[in-house]
Structure 1
C-alpha cells in the first residue's frame, strides 16, 4: 500500500495556473499509480473569490481567520507515513508558522515546490492590499526546513541552493493528451495575434502596443487578449476574450501568432515560460522576449523567435503575418519541443522519483 500524498497549496483546486500546471495535472496519474491524494488548500473558494476585490474587509478577515483555523486542523490530522508536498506556502499570508511546526515540532519531512521568484515582492494595484500581509522573507526558511525542493528552472535552483542542496528541476508542463490537445489553423484570415494572462501581467504588453499600432495601419490582423480584465489599449485590432476555464483551449487555439513580451528584471528571470509553452503546445508560432528560461525553451528562428528591440518585434510579426507556411513550420517545431521536454508525459517520471525519495 503506497502512502498518502498530502498536498498543501494556497488556492482551491483548479483555480490558479501555478497549481494547475505545476502539479494538479499529475494527480490522476499518481492516483492510477496507487497513491491516495489528499488536497488541502489554505483559502476556500469563497475567500479566494473575494480576496482581491475592493472592500468586503470583514468578509475577508473572517475568511482568512477560518483558513488559519482549518490549516491547523489539517496539520494535526497528518498521519505518520504521509508524503507532504507544499506548493509555494502553507498559508497564503503571514509567517511560516505551519512549515516550522511541521518540520521542527512534528519532525516531518516535506517537499517544497515553487515556480516563480516568490521571495521577491511582486504586486500591482489589484493585489496591493494583500501584498501588505505577505511575508516574502519566509521563503528562505521554507526552503531550509524542507527535505526536498522542486523548482521550475535553473534560475530558481541557483537561488535555492544557498539554503538547500537537495533540489530537482521539474519544468512547468503541458498535458498534451487531455488538455492542450488542439492545434491552430495556420491559414485563417485575418491572422489572430494573441496573448493570455491575468490583469496583473497586462503591463508587459505596454512595449508591444506601439508596434501593433503601427502594424495595423498596413496589415489586417486581430490582436486577441485573453484575460480576466479588459485592457484599455487604443488599438482598432483589439479583441478581448474573458478568460474562461471551459473555453480557454479553444480560445487559445484560434490564435495564429502568440506573443510574450517581458521586462528584464529578477522576477521575470524566475518565470517558467508557461505562456510560451501554452502557445507552442497548440502549434502556435511564438515570439518572446529573451528573458530567463525563454532563452532555453526557444531556439531563435527554429521553434520560435526571441526579440530584444522594437524593430525585431516588428520584423518577426510581419514575417509571420504574411507567411502561413512560416507560421506552420515554426509552430510545428514548437509543438515538438513541448512534446519532448515540457509535457506531462515526458516529466511524470521526475515526480515519481521525487515522491519515492
Structure 2
C-alpha cells in the first residue's frame, strides 16, 4: 500500500480524526511511539521529520518519546570540523538502554537506522520479532553504505557488509515514510510494503510574513550548513555579474566561514528561534544543486522555508525542487548560468513580480508543506498500522 501526503491532497484532515483545536483530543487508546531519531534537536532532519510532530500527534492520542542516538555534541563537532569520535563513542555507550525503551513502546519510529554502521542483524535483535516500526528517510541515505557510484576499497567494503541494510529494514517496516518521490520509488523497488510520501514541512506558526522594506541592495539569500554551502559555488559567475551591475549581496545563514570571491557576503548565524527572521531579510531565496544520485534524494526544505516567509525562490530542477517550486508562479527553476542570471535579474528589477510570487509562495506552503496540514494524515497512518 502507498499513500501520498503531498500537493493538493493535504489541505484537510482525514475523516474520523480529531481537530488540533479540539479541547479534549487525547484518545483513551493512546499509542506509545518511541522517536528513535538519529540526532538531537540541533540535527535538522531529526527536528523536522520527527520531533516537531510530537505535540500535534499528541492531540490524536499518539504519545511520542524522543530518544536521539547522537547528541548535539556530534552535530556541533561536524559543523566545526572537529573530531566526532567522542560523541560517537558516547552514543554507543548509551545504546544498551535502547532495548528497554523499545519494549516500553507500541511502535518505534526510526530515523534512517537505529545503529549506524552496524549490520541490520543488530537492529533485528533490538526490535525483536513482534515490535512494529516505522522507517523514515529524508535523504538518499542508502548511498552512504557503498551504493554510490565508484569502486573504491571503502565502497566495496561498505557494500559487502552494509549494502543490504536498508532494504532489509524496509521489508520489515510496518510503514516507510519518505520525503519525496525519488525516495519512494527506491523504497518500493526494494520491497517496502507500505509507504507514505510526507514532505519535510514547516510549522507556519513560526513563520510570520514580514514585508521587506524598500532598500537599495538586492539580497539573494541561502540557508544551510557548512556541509552544503559549497553548492553555492556553481553560481559564482552569475553572482559576480550581478554584483558588478548593481548593489547586490549574498546573505548566508548557517555557514559562517563560507565566501565567494568578488561577491559581497553577509553572514548570519543559524538558530531555531531566529531562522524565520533572518530569511525575512532576503529578497529571494536560492537552492542551487548539482544533478546526482544524492541531490535527487534531497527534500528541498530550504525552498519551503523561503516560501513560508513569503519569498520567491529559484532552484535547480533536481529532485523535490521540481515539485516544490511552481515554475513561474512561486519562483523559478533554473538550469544553466544564463537561466540563473535571467531569473535573478527579473526578480531584482521587478518588485511587483517579487510581491506576486511571494503571495503565491506562502499560499502554496500553507496548502501543501505545513505541519498543520500534514500532521492529521501522519496520525491516520500511525493509527492504521497500530490497528487503532
Q: Do the structures match in fold with TM over 0.5?
A: yes
State how many pairs are aligned: 345
Deviation digits for residues 138-165 of structure 1, max 9, x if unmatched? 2222212211101111111100012213
Q: 2:344 aligns with which of 307, 310, 317?
A: 317
Q: CA deviation at 1:48?
A: 4.3
Moved over 4 A (4+): 51-57, 131-137
Residue 3 (1) aligns with residue 31 (2): yes
Does the 8 A contact of 2:222 with 2:287 survive in 1? yes
Distance 2:213 2:337 in 1: 25
Does the 8 A contact of 2:202 with 2:308 survive in 1? yes
Q: Does the residue aligned with 1:319 lie in a helix, a strand or coil?
A: helix
Does the 8 A contact of 1:118 with 1:136 survive in 2? no
Q: 2:279 aligns with which of 252, 263, 279?
A: 252
Q: CA deviation at 1:11?
A: 0.8
Q: CA deviation at 1:135?
A: 4.8
RMSD over equivalenced CA pairs, Å: 2.5
The answer to which of 210-219 and 105-114 deviates more is: 105-114
Q: CA deviation at 1:321?
A: 0.8
Does the 8 A contact of 2:145 with 2:162 survive in 1? no
Question: Which residue in 1 is equivalent to 2:137?
Answer: 114
Segments of structure 1 that go 5 or more residues without pairing to the other structure are: 124-130
Question: Which residue in 1 is equivalent to 2:306?
Answer: 279
Does the 8 A contact of 1:187 with 1:324 survive in 2? no
Distance 2:264 2:80 in 1: 30
Q: 1:167 aligns with which of 178, 195, 201?
A: 195
Q: CA deviation at 1:136?
A: 5.8
Task: Call closer, same or farther: CA 1:122–1:209 in 2, change over 3 Å.
Answer: farther
Q: Does the residue aligned with 2:108 lie in a helix, a strand or coil?
A: strand
Deviation digits for residues 295-348 of structure 1, max 9, x if unmatched? 111221111101111111111111111111111101111111101111111111
Distance 1:251 1:77 in 2: 38
The answer to which of 299-308 and 28-37 deviates more is: 28-37
What does 1:1-357 align with in structure 2 at a 5 Å threshold?
A: 1=28, 2-12=30-40, 14-50=41-77, 60-61=85-86, 63-79=87-103, 82-103=106-127, 105-121=128-144, 135=162, 137-162=164-189, 163-177=191-205, 179-185=206-212, 187-357=214-384
Calculate the TM-score normalised by the size of structure 2. 0.82
Segments of structure 2 that go 5 or more residues without pairing to the other structure are: 1-27, 147-154
